[in-house]
Amino acid sequence: MSRGLKELEEKVFKKDLCTACGACLSLCPYLRSWKGRVVKLHDCGLEEGRCFAYCPKTGGDLAGTGEQESTQRDEQLELGPVRKILMARGRDPIWREKAQSGGVVSALIDFALKKKVIDAAILTLREDDFLPKGRIVRNREDILNCAGSSYVSGPTLEALNRGPWNGEERIGVVGLPCQAIALRKMRSSSLEKRTPIDKVGLIIGLFCTWALEYERFHAFLKERLGQLNIQKLEITPPPDRLLKVYTDRQLTMVPVDEIRPFIRKGCQVCLDMTAELSDISAGTVEGIEGWNTVIIRSDQGEALFKEAEKEGMIECQSLPEDHLNHLKEASLLKRRRGMDVLQEIGRPEGGKG
Ligand SMILES: Cc1cc2nc3c(=O)[nH]c(=O)nc-3n(C[C@H](O)[C@H](O)[C@H](O)COP(=O)(O)OP(=O)(O)OC[C@H]3O[C@@H](n4cnc5c(N)ncnc54)[C@H](O)[C@@H]3O)c2cc1C
């Protein structure tokens, strides 16, 4: 069976399963990102391509590829490999002011750069037109510019493929579960790399139930708000389930049901809510403002986290049991829903994506 762009088009693009993660971009001249979508500019006759190999939606078995080298971890049905689960937040209020919730992700990247665990990181910046794009960051100011969640998925990993990178740099990546899967597929692929995946020494994954499609969500917000000068987006827990949109002038609240039509179809077949292939995963703690749920998964994740706690960069508490149970339920629910949709469309997915 061939595994090139033609198959990617048939199996992913035509079925609308692409999440625009960016793993296939800047590797060849035929694929481009356009307004939150990946578009094909030209046919390609290659039987085997990196675009297909790295795509989180083309399946493939990730087991036994040396993921998350770890000596002691518990493989949990609902949450994947776990060394520790806790609640944490960045200690410096600067993170919480700009961050989505506890600022653990921004604080850990800042700490990893300071300690030279990594020399640069790939984060996601929401541009003025609201389109998320991958950014190479090397300092605190850039980290703060990227803080907060864009609930739109965008081609973050293109920044990794594009570079530029210098010599021996070590890279950290913050991404959605599909992006963590793509990174692991890049690493395990036997094709010549053409991407600096061997330099990636840290993956921080974000919990994700779904992401929205850019064009339709952008049009919806523009119609609702007029001028789009969005400072922050936030989704409140049930029973309210509201999307809160903060602009420089006002706060607008939209029932989440109104934005559900913009959820990417590719997210509806995803089986991974907690970014299981990351070194550290982070989400919000529903109902406890200003804290993150953190899952430490690998040796390097644990080493970084411990050091950051020891040096007072982050503070931790245990995650209340009802929150842990709720997280497990939510994760299983996403898996079940994903399996149902996959069955409906008649396409069993391999791996975790
Ligand atoms: C599409 C999406 C869906 C999510 N769904 C859930 C959920 O269902 N449950 C839950 O608990 N948490 C969810 N989160 C995660 C949550 O919103 C926070 O990102 C997480 O709790 C980390 O918080 P923080 O305060 O440490 O973040 P911060 O310190 O503010 O850091 C957030 C980081 O996220 C990156 N980022 C922002 N938008 C994107 C994007 N679109 N793609 C890739 N990276 C991005 C930024 O680069 C930044 O570095 C979701 C996030 C996104 C982007």
Q: With cut-offs at 50, 70 and 90, classify the pLDDT of residue 76.
A: confident
- 94 CA → ligand 1 middle, Å: 17
For the chain, the domains span 5-63+76-213+263-344, 214-262
pLDDT given at position 64: 42
Closest CA to 174 of 77, 107, 231, 88: 107
Question: Of ligand 1's atoms, which has the minimum distance to the CA of residue 273?
Answer: 8
- Largest alpha-carbon pair distance within the chain? 55
Mean pLDDT (the chain, rounded): 92
DSSP code of 236? Answer: P
Which residue, 90, 78, 139, is CA-closest to 305?
90
Q: C-alpha 172: how far from its chain's center?
A: 13
Calpha distance 8→156 (Å, rounded): 19
Q: In the prediction, which pLDDT does 63 show?
A: 47
Mean of the pLDDT values across residues 145-166?
95
pLDDT tens profile 213-244: 999 999 999 998 887 788 899 999 888 899 99
Residues flanking ligand 1, CB < 6 Å: 99-106, 123-124, 132, 146-154, 156, 174-176, 206-209, 211, 282-284, 292
Assess contact for 220 and 259: CB atoms under 8 A: yes
| Ramachandran sector of residue 216 (left: φ over 0; alpha: ψ -120 to 50; beta: rest) | alpha
Give me ligand 1 centre to Cα 251, in Å: 20
Nearest residue (by CA) to ligand 1, atom 3, is: 208
Percentage of the chain beyond pLDDT 90 is 80
Q: Among 118, 130, 207, which Cα is nearest to 165's?
A: 118
Q: Cα(46) to centroid of ligand 1, in Å?
A: 36
State pLDDT tens for residues 177-216: 999 999 999 999 999 888 899 999 999 999 999 999 999 9
Look at residue 347 and tell me whether its pLDDT is greater than 70: no
| Residue 212 alpha carbon, nearest atom of ligand 1 | 1
Report which of residues 73 and 25 the model is more confident about. 25
